[in-house]
Structure 1
């Protein structure tokens, strides 16, 4: 082999977004998926606005929203596991129907000024039945690109797809709450949740109807029990680290609002948080355009370290302009961390548990967000707005400690002996390419 051929073989593959979106059948599931994912970030905001209006208490409203978030975090992975086993459509259709009914019940109870405990009972199934569209889309990308076996090319396509999905996630997290607030304030507080339920129902059913691109369901072997994705130590580590990322989201949302209120510019909070999310979207786009030479394990640790560094300056910012700049720097580390984590988890579980694995990570973010928002709110009430910014750095710091100390768990068990400084030894199995190069 010539020197040029060797260099070409050693160069990592790169797939552009244009080529990704020209994948046959991609738009048939991406369009309804976007419609169904948008409400994901609308639910909490819709609950907060409605319950605060009907019951007059931020405490009650935030607790109802937290109940929904916790239920989603705990039950979401179970629906992902069912989707792996029975197929996505078989899980999606009843999920969106239950969700619409539960949100309808919550709206009726809130408008009827029912006691708080009844709101909790309605919020639990509303959160538990949120369709795990993001995880299902990622599973479809994997099924599409690995149908003919694992290779450097398929691994590069999956990495670009995950970058695209991360940007889509950020878009929905920014636009969703804004849409819910705009609809609720322009019509009446209940319309935010009505819009959320309608989008979930229509988008979810349309996505479920696209069966041709859905991954094949897992056929159970009689007498063999399918292990949960959480049985993998690497998946548990990633879920724990994503709790820290969720704490960054939750802590920032509350702290930015409190800080903007404290300086007399409450309307600027959305702009500041939008800059943070915009930084993440930009980093996600750039991530998918780079032909990475470092291993995905190394990229995960590096981006998480940058996240901690960015969060560590937030509490010291003297004004909204400085806070916006610090938030932008912090946001630049979010998407690379999420993309690396989703890429890694795909290599740590068998084909029959991938959707479940993705939902564990998504659920961990939601749980971390609820925890971070609650902790930041309590600190702000007790010590002032700037203290709330300690929650993101604390959550991310704990996640980084876990990642660095246990990073060996992020290498698939059967390939650890073949990984040498982020490269693949000659003769390693083809599936390892995706595990190491991402």
Structure 2
């Protein structure tokens, strides 16, 4: 049987944004996800200012990241069961209180153990807006050909926040007050999170009803493909964390700390531009192969970061690394739609987001120690090691990324489907 692909135009962003009800969750969702990109850099800059150590600052930021990685999937599971609003409202209030406590302790030169203690609820309560928005798209679009476009759009939105967030946090911390970045993060979380939670009409159905009521609720992590993707996304987290610390250290080394936000924004801009392009392409190769190719490119790009010795060169290499991240992120999130039943998708998305946070936390810690002892160039080795290990995992376990069950299909382009096979 032939599976010849006839040229078709992928449904575009314009068609996606005309989806009924989309703007009611997109606008508050955009506001509410800004803090996600500000938290780590905000903690890093504040604690580094009060302690004078990137290693210590990285460890506190990492504690927050690990906490988020561990608790985010549980929040996703609760959102699938009880609804997003029921999880968001108390979570937002706890997060604002925890960030406020962390700021007060850092400025009071509290013992390190106290900063770690405050970092745990700070990370655990980070609102998982991105996964919740993706779950709303999945509920709206189902198996529509618009789903890959929605995944690309969400990646672009995420990366735009990583352009705006770090620049805003760095500008506030260096130009206003070392705590200003975290203060803004808490304020945006409060306003954006509660506004998003108020959009009840578009939240996905929750709980188990009808045919699903008699079925036991299985964790999204029981799906082998989700476990593989989570491990792979640790590598993406290592890029985010390693770049944040190492770019900050590099800016300090050259005596221009303000350039840090511009450099990280350039890196994130590459990610955003690649995401826009990915959403406009009607792919003719399967998602499994796209994922591996994305990680190959990311590993190669990260392999030369350590050698950069100028702002221009580092900016160009950061842009290249950013261009390679988006295809991997978008494809991973797109695969979830075919691997995981609708009743567990919010949880699945939070496992991936949590994996990025965990990888970021580990990278911030290791890169911070390396930057303290050997300079920023050593810190740039962290993204290389993280992406190389993720690529090795994907190459070894790629067969688990194929949807299980006879007769299941995977999308290879718009408007047609073929039996699931390993690329």
Q: 1:277 maps to what in 2?
A: 268
Q: Does 1:404 align with 2:395?
A: yes
Q: 1:180 maps to what in 2?
A: 169
Q: 1:201 maps to what in 2?
A: 190
> Quick check: 1:347–1:434 contact (8 Å CA) kept in 2?
no
Following the alignment from structure 2 to structure 1, what is the Cα–Cα distance between the partners of residues 130 and 408?
A: 33
Partner SS for 1:332: helix
Give the TM-score normalised by the residue count of structure 2. Answer: 0.91
Give the TM-score normalised by the residue count of structure 1. Answer: 0.88
Q: 2:150 maps to what in 1?
A: 161
Following the alignment from structure 1 to structure 2, what is the Cα–Cα distance between the partners of residues 173 and 375?
A: 21
Q: Does 1:346 align with 2:337?
A: yes
Matches within 5 A, 1:8-407: 10-12=6-8, 14-146=10-142, 150=143, 154=144, 156-219=145-208, 224-407=215-398
Per-residue Cα deviation, 1:169-217 (whole angstroms, up to 9, x for no partner): 1111221122223333444333322221121111111111111111100
Q: How many residues align?
A: 417
Per-residue Cα deviation, 1:19-78 (whole angstroms, up to 9, x for no partner): 111211111111111111001121222223333444554443332221111101110011
- Unpaired runs of 5+ residues, structure 2, are none
> Quick check: 1:255–1:376 contact (8 Å CA) kept in 2?
yes
Range with greater deviation from structure 2 (375-384 or 305-314): 375-384
> Quick check: 1:344–1:435 contact (8 Å CA) kept in 2?
no
> Quick check: 1:131–1:204 contact (8 Å CA) kept in 2?
yes
- Unpaired runs of 5+ residues, structure 1, are 1-5, 425-429
> Quick check: 1:140–1:215 contact (8 Å CA) kept in 2?
yes
Partner SS for 1:214: coil
Q: 1:158 to 1:194 in 2, by over 3 A?
A: same
Q: 1:17 to 1:223 in 2, by over 3 A?
A: closer
Partner SS for 2:380: helix
Following the alignment from structure 1 to structure 2, what is the Cα–Cα distance between the partners of residues 416 and 13?
A: 26
> Quick check: 1:14–1:290 contact (8 Å CA) kept in 2?
yes
RMSD (Å) for aligned C-alpha atoms = 2.7
Following the alignment from structure 1 to structure 2, what is the Cα–Cα distance between the partners of residues 408 and 330?
A: 27
Following the alignment from structure 2 to structure 1, what is the Cα–Cα distance between the partners of residues 357 and 202?
A: 27
